[in-house]
Copies of this chain bind each other. A is one copy, B any other.
Amino acid sequence: MKMLINVPETVVSDALRGLAAAHPDLTVDVEHQVIVRRDAPVAGKVGLVSGGGSGHEPLHGGFVGPGMLDAACPGAVFTSPVPDQMARAAAAVDSGKGVLFIVKNYTGDVLNFNMAAEMAEDEGIQVASVLVNDDVAVTDSLYTAGRRGTGATLFVEKIAGAAADEGAPLERVEALARRVNESSRSFGVALSACTTPSKGSPTFDLPPGELELGIGIHGEPGRERRAMMTSREIADFAVNAVLEDLEPTGPVLVLVNGMGATPQLELYGFNAEVQRVLGERGVTAARTLVGNYVTSLDMAGCSVTLCQADDELMRLWDAPVQTPGLRWGR
């Protein structure tokens, strides 16, 4: 598999240098692999830190900036960052109001963020953590005990980020983040496997004419393999899988997410089918975001995330955000 890289060993550090060059409003520590908004720590504000294996860009480094994360720690591709990175990030963003760790539910990430929380607390930083586990496809997987954390991470980071921006205290930002996670469910579908730079060949074998339902974001196998389906059929399957578990009683935020290699033209067409299913099921899409946000390297495919939203979550979702990967103004 051909890649636009130098050597697998420098993929993450090369990307960090390129990120730094494009975004002077971020401080990128390439050596220690920590991305921090340049004006951190922001006085009086709770600091938000996330991180995880690389290969899901723009998640998380692309979500650092006003209105979202204060710092992100990228690990090697599909590999948890180490506690030292997270503790370093916490120290860089703590203004004295405490730090929230936003952790996707993968065994390595959970362990390392726990350890980092202890390290930060030893330095006198107050730390709270919230676990994201929105993926309804499988209960346990190659990398997880319990549900995996996928698309809902974007909702958690955006909404908690907006609350922190408004000056909410740590307990409140933590509670909101937890509420967003509990209100969110995701389901993903792969048309192709992804290829990691170090392996150089697809992470699983997906024959022509077949797709994998219920995949994760690390090329881990899904729930079921089937003969190729239409956009309409895939939307029926994915949205119904989510709604079996969520049963929203009000409007939802919708993320129609590309896994990396699926063209925007196809993602918008898929969104039309997602909206159709929601309409048929009597669910109102209050806001819809379509694009590549929580990716899996060069995987072709998509995921659907729904988050049941009340007025407060909607207001925080609409609040301004200025990051490389997600930005809007008033």
Contacts and interface: CB of A to CB of B under 8 A. Distances in A.
Interface stretch (A12-20, A93-101, A161-169): A12-20
B264 A14 contact: no
Contacts of A328: 322, 327, 329
A89 interface: no
B268 A19 contact: yes
Contacts of A54: 265
A232 B17 CA distance: 13
A174 interface: no
A2 B6 CA distance: 29
Interface string A244-268: 0000000000001000111111111
Contacts of A22: 256, 268, 271, 288-290
Interface residues on A, range: 35 or more
A231 B191 CA distance: 27
Contacts of A327: 327-329
A152 interface: no
A14 B272 contact: yes
A127 to B, nearest CB: 28
Contacts of A268: 14-16, 18-19, 22, 57
Q: Which interface residue of A55, A267, A268, A272 has the most chain B CB atoms within 10 A? A: A268
Interface string A83-106: 000000000000000000000000
A228 interface: yes
A191 B263 contact: no
A19 to B, nearest CB: 5
A298 B267 CA distance: 12
Contacts of A300: 2, 4, 261, 298
A112 interface: no
Nearest to A232: B6
Contacts of A145: none
A262 B3 CA distance: 8
A298 B262 CA distance: 6
A330 B54 CA distance: 30
